[in-house]
Amino acid sequence: MYSAGMFTNPYATEVLRTKKKELVEGIKNPDQLLNWLIENGIFTPEKKMVLSYYRTRTAKNSRVLDILVAQGERACRLFFYPCLKQIEPQLYNNMRSYVSDVNGRIGDARRQLIGYLLEKDKGWVQKSKDPRQEKKESPRQVLAKPEKLTQGKHTEKQGSVAMKSKDNNFISLSVFDSVAKGNLSDLEKILQKSDINAVNSANETLLHIAAAHGHSEIIDYLISKGARAEVKDKNGKTPLHRAAERGHDKAVKILLRSGANMYSLDQDSNSPLHLASQNHHIHVLKSILKEEARRHKGQHNFLHMAALRDDSELVQVLLQNGAFRDAKDERGQTALSYAVSQGFEKTVKVLLDARANVDSGIIDVAFNSNNQSLFRLLLEYSKGMSPDTMVSALFKAIQKDLHGIVAALIEKGTDKNALNEVQYTPLLVACEMGKTESAKVLIEKGASLKDKTPNSSSALHLAVQAGASSIAKMLLRKGMAANIVGQGDQTPLHIAALHNKGALVDILVDGGAKIDLVTKEQLTPLHIASYKGHIDVAQKLLQHKANVNVKDKRSKTPLHLSAERGNPAIVELLLNSNADPNATDKEKKTPLHLATIGSHLNLVKALLAKKSRFGTKDMDGCTPMHYAAVNGNTEILKALLVASKNKNIDDKNVWRKTPLHVAAEHGHSDLINFFLSSGSAINALDNNKDTPLHWACKAGHFNCVSALVNWSAGEKANLQATNSLKKTPLQAAESSPTENQAQIVTLLKKKMLLIR
């Protein structure tokens, strides 16, 4: 999706580290941001599970940023753009402003700082640059983009008038000849002001000639007269290049003292120091290094550059001649960190042989490079690495499944059972993330199998949850109990059922898992699979002879749970496996009750087809038909009436209400005619001698009242019936302050001929 070729230098990583506090506070939608990172392949889905243990927004944000830094520059840049821009646009703009300010201060004409971020953001207006900043190359610019200058690019060509003018031609030639011979007295006599920066056919100035011949007195004289030290000849060399190349140490010192740019590059991307080294002028190299230490302390230096070019020979020469091995540049980076980030093993070894410091930052860089052999090399030399740093490295290696690094760290003495910030051991992390190779190393190296997470999950629980079959097999082979219990007495088999890990069922059963062990809620794995609708797991459990009619703490069977959740496939599977369709729970409800309550028509039909008893009453005396009336579900009522051949239409519950009472009470006017046409008693009385019409009036359901009083096919509604309070339906309506009271009262009075 994104090209990795763009991501070379770690600028975004540094901005993320620098602005971490602001980012942690500013990200208001961590879950949305995390989903974006997962959907776009920057994070794996397992990260969401790991981050779910962080309870506060800021803690989760901080961990997300740490993971991004650990994953390297590509992840950090994609986090800034397009992720942060889409999820937190205001925060993104703040970061962009910060980048702009930094660019403005350092005058970086190449816009290196998060260059990708700024380039891709088309709405960004680049700040104009001070032209004075482009006159001189900084160490950072030399590192970032060496340029090959051609003769046509030199502004010094303006000083070539003396060579191009016919009148001054012979005078200029004699000036160059005097400089080449080192004749200062002749030069003083014939040098004209216009000649000081004149160039010959090779684009050489007088200063180039003097430097090439090592004439220090003439160099001093020319500089005092205004000779420019930064003019480049046709090969891109400055006078300092020429002096260093020829080994003229005194000339080099004079040029450096005058401010000559020691980092200037010729057409072959060589600095004066490179030329001095190539030609074995060690005395010159030392002079340049000494001036660098004086002039550019705390900045990007020759050792950093050599490391980035993988010039191990030059690195060795620099170290042997006074270069400080652990010097840091403006970004806090050492030569070793640069060499490690680029994977330059030969240069890394030279620096390590020179006892360059290996700190936690270097270890992080090694992880970002994803180079296991390089990490082993660092580990071999890191005699002073703290135990905490090594433990941190171990967890990072597991997250990336760099099993070679995991092994190397353990062999180096890292605590293989150490706890991280969420109290997980390395093995628990490997199991939860499904990092098979790392888990294998840890198990073989003797990591403890007894440790559990804060919520009591064992390594086997976590491996099953991750679907890591290979890890589960290794744990079982090493003697971990297949029936080890976790939170709520859940076994790994319960976890397989919960997370739909069918492949793990056979492995666990073969490893000794008992099929019908129960949790504290008396749930078997089949209960859980049935409730979740995981048919593959349910099938495997039944193949291993799981008890299909076992009851949980509420006396519900797996069939109860699947009927309650409305899963036809599971219900059919359980019924075909001899599940009892008439089993009752603690409330005396059958699966048919639960399917009806949930309005699951297909399940009702399936249960009726398996001889489920349609007239069974629960502890409230309600049949499935009562619940169908509550829901107003005509299709389920039809199925129940067909099955019962209308025999149970007037069954009464403990309050002696018929389904018609219930329909009238709940306002299902469309069911009134359905019940009456099916033979329901229109004037049936409940415990309080209320008829269905009483209930429709009290509840204020005008349409139900209308349907009842207008029924004419058979017995009619008794308008004079009185209940236990001696009230007629009209009186019940008058005493009920409902929205439709007036309308109902008027209708009843008309029917009773009390008004016209």
Quote the pLDDT of residue 677.
93
> Which amino acid, residue 616?
T
Quote the pLDDT of residue 125.
31
Q: Which of 130-144, 213-227, 706-720 has the lowest mean pLDDT?
A: 130-144
> Which amino acid, residue 238?
T
Quote the pLDDT of residue 9.
56
Binned at pLDDT 50, 70 and 90, residue 155 comes out as very low
119 Cβ contact partners less than 8 Å away, ≥ 6 residues apart = 111
* C-alpha–C-alpha distance, residues 79 and 30, integer Å: 12
* C-alpha–C-alpha distance, residues 422 and 652, integer Å: 58
* C-alpha–C-alpha distance, residues 308 and 302, integer Å: 10
Whether 485 shows a pLDDT value over 90: the answer reads yes
Binned at pLDDT 50, 70 and 90, residue 104 comes out as low
Binned at pLDDT 50, 70 and 90, residue 420 comes out as very high
Quote the pLDDT of residue 341.
87
State which H helix or E strand residue 219 sits in: helix 216-224
> Which is higher by pLDDT, 119 or 386?
386
Quote the pLDDT of residue 321.
93
Q: Which of 111-120, 386-395, 477-486, 627-636 has the lowest mean pLDDT?
A: 111-120
Quote the pLDDT of residue 48.
75
Binned at pLDDT 50, 70 and 90, residue 1 comes out as very low
Quote the pLDDT of residue 381.
79
* Average pLDDT over all residues of the chain: 87
Quote the pLDDT of residue 696.
96
> Which is higher by pLDDT, 600 or 166?
600
* C-alpha gyration radius of the chain: 43
State which H helix or E strand residue 396 sits in: helix 387-399
> Which amino acid, residue 497?
A
Q: If you average pLDDT over residues 556-583, what whole number do you get?
A: 96
Highest mean pLDDT among 136-145, 374-383, 409-418: 409-418
Whether 157 shows a pLDDT value over 50: the answer reads no
Q: Report cis status (omega within 30 of 0) of the bond before 624.
A: no
* C-alpha–C-alpha distance, residues 203 and 153, integer Å: 11
Give the relative orientation of helices 525-532 and 568-576 as an angle to the nearest 10 degrees.
140
* C-alpha–C-alpha distance, residues 225 and 404, integer Å: 64
Whether 634 shows a pLDDT value over 80: the answer reads yes
Whether 149 shows a pLDDT value over 50: the answer reads no
pLDDT in tens, 34-90: 889 988 888 887 777 667 767 788 988 998 998 998 888 888 989 998 899 999 988
* C-alpha–C-alpha distance, residues 669 and 696, integer Å: 9
Quote the pLDDT of residue 384.
61
pLDDT in tens, 599-625: 999 999 999 999 999 999 999 999 999
* C-alpha–C-alpha distance, residues 305 and 309, integer Å: 6
Binned at pLDDT 50, 70 and 90, residue 383 comes out as low
Quote the pLDDT of residue 417.
97
Q: If you average pLDDT over residues 669-687, what whole number do you get?
A: 95
Binned at pLDDT 50, 70 and 90, residue 138 comes out as very low
Whether 549 shows a pLDDT value over 50: the answer reads yes
Quote the pLDDT of residue 714.
86
pLDDT in tens, 513-529: 999 999 999 999 999 99
Binned at pLDDT 50, 70 and 90, residue 124 comes out as very low
Region for 485 from its dihedrals, namely left if φ exceeds 0, alpha if ψ lies in -120 to 50, beta otherwise: beta
Q: In the numeric block, which tokens belong to residue 262?
A: 């020691």
Quote the pLDDT of residue 256.
95
Q: Phi/psi of residue 129, each to 5°?
A: -110, 150
Q: Which of 341-345, 371-375, 445-449, 647-651 has the lowest mean pLDDT?
A: 371-375
Whole-prediction pTM value? 0.62
Quote the pLDDT of residue 55.
72
Quote the pLDDT of residue 50.
67
Binned at pLDDT 50, 70 and 90, residue 654 comes out as very high
Highest mean pLDDT among 12-26, 76-90, 455-469, 638-652: 455-469
DSSP calls for 731-744: HHHHT---TTHHHH
Per residue, what are the HEC states of 482-529? Answer: CCCCCHHHCCHHHHHHHCCCHHHHHHHHHCCCCCCCCCCCCCCHHHHH
> Which amino acid, residue 665?
E
pLDDT in tens, 350-360: 999 998 988 77
Whether 130 shows a pLDDT value over 70: the answer reads no
pLDDT in tens, 91-102: 998 888 888 777
Percentage of the chain modeled with pLDDT above 70: 88
* C-alpha–C-alpha distance, residues 401 and 409, integer Å: 13
